[in-house]
A and B are shown apart, each in its own frame.
Chain A
Amino acid sequence: DTGVSQDPRHKITKRGQNVTFRCDPISEHNRLYWYRQTLGQGPEFLTYFQNEAQLEKSRLLSDRFSAERPKGSFSTLEIQRTEQGDSAMYLCASSRDRPIANTGELFFGEGSRLTVL
């Protein structure tokens, strides 16, 4: 068990470019979450998957954002036409399904920091 892995760890891009982040969850975890964290704030929920199904999307997730989890394994978060306001840490987390693990404990990756110039 190597934990939740995210790539890249840092991304600097120019406004208007597209960026994609990848998340590899803990292998036996069916649920995968994306959060966004800006400086001095707690993480905010973006979206989550149960296996390959995207079950909920936050209103924070504008049309420029899309997330996928093909085959229920790794997930990608793509941001199109980036804006300076997209600069943030994008965090991925995974957990077991319930009721297999009733606690619902989330395990987070190290995050992908995006800077939009």
Chain B
Amino acid sequence: KQEVTQIPAALSVPEGENLVLNCSFTDSAIYNLQWFRQDPGKGLTSLLLIQSSQREQTSGRLNASLDKSSGRSTLYIAASQPGDSATYLCAVEGGSEKLVFGKGMKLTVNP
């Protein structure tokens, strides 16, 4: 059974810092990995998707990497801003064609 872990559960940083969010998964046989952002009481916004054949994806200040063999992904946020404050969720899709999520990491960026 696939399990996804995100550590730490929460992080508070001053504005301007470069951040690395970690995600680990137990079964390396994945189809893709997706990072989402969730604001309080809201739905999920897709940030980046990395297919199993890819090593990384970039969008603006965000860069996500994938190391299937070690079961790890990182989301890098450059020059963090207060508007980046949210919960960040990592999810993997295996052969079952459904996403398995981590519990998320709550990020607070202080002005």
A77 CB, min distance to chain B CBs, angstroms: 15
A22 interface contact, C-beta 8 A: no
Number of interface residues of A (CB under 8 A): 25
In this assembly, does B91 line the interface, its C-beta being within 8 Å of a C-beta of chain A? yes
Task: Choose one: B31, B41, B102; the contact of A42 (CB below 8 Å).
Answer: B102
B61 within 8 A of A: no
- What 0/1 readout, one digit per residue, does chain A (73-117) give for beta carbons within 8 Å of chain B? 000000000000000000101000000001111111111010000
Interface 9-residue window, one of B43-51, B68-76, B78-86: B43-51
Within 8 Å of chain A (Cβ to Cβ): is B93?
yes
Distance A6 CA – B41 CA, assembled complex (angstroms) = 14
Complex Cα spacing A102 to B101, Å: 20
3 shortest A-B CB distances, which residue pairs? Answer: A42-B101, A108-B44, A110-B43
Q: Are A106 and B99 in contact (CB under 8 A)?
A: yes
Interface size class of B (residues with CB under 8 A): 20 to 34
- Known pairs A106-B46, A113-B41. 17 more at Cβ < 8 A? A33-B98, A42-B89, A43-B99, A45-B98, A45-B99, A48-B98, A91-B43, A102-B51, A104-B31, A104-B32, A104-B97, A105-B46, A106-B34, A107-B46, A108-B44, A108-B45, A108-B46
Complex: how many Å from CA A15 to CA B101?
A: 29
Tell me whether chain B's interface is mostly helix, strand or loop, or mixed: strand
Q: A60 to B91: give the CA distance in the assembly, Å.
A: 19
Chain A interfacial positions (CB closer than 8 Å to B): 4, 6, 33, 35, 40-45, 48, 56, 91, 93, 102-111, 113
* Inter-subunit contact B103/A41 (CB<8 Å): yes
Tell me, yes or no, whether B12 is within 8 Å of chain A by CB: no
C-alpha gap A91/B97 in the complex (Å): 17
- Contact at B96–A111, with CB atoms within 8 Å? no
A58 to B41, CA, bound (A): 24
